[in-house]
Amino acid sequence: AANKPLLSVARQTFQAGQDNPFEYCRYYVLSEYFGEIHYH
């Protein structure tokens, strides 16, 4: 996994979130908490 800007991560997670919105919410909360996340 690589560090990615929050906007980039949010965009990818949003696209994935169309199939699994709960997963999107979880990543969003993590990104808000850490400022940036490791997106797998």
Q: What is the pLDDT of residue 40?
A: 46
What CA–CA distance (Å, rounded) separates 22 from 1? 21
- 9 contact partners, CB below 8 Å, separation of at least 6: 27, 31, 36, 37, 39
Say what percent of the chain tops pLDDT 90.
0
Report the pLDDT value the prediction gives residue 3, as an integer from 0 to 100: 58
Over residues 20-35, mean pLDDT: 65
- Domain segments of the chain as ranges: 2-34
Gap between the Cα atoms of 31 and 37, Å rounded: 5
Better-scored residue on pLDDT, 12 or 36: 12
Q: Pick the range with the lowest mean pLDDT from 4-8, 27-31, 36-40.
A: 36-40
| DSSP-derived secondary structure for 4-20 | --HHHHHHHHHHHHTT-
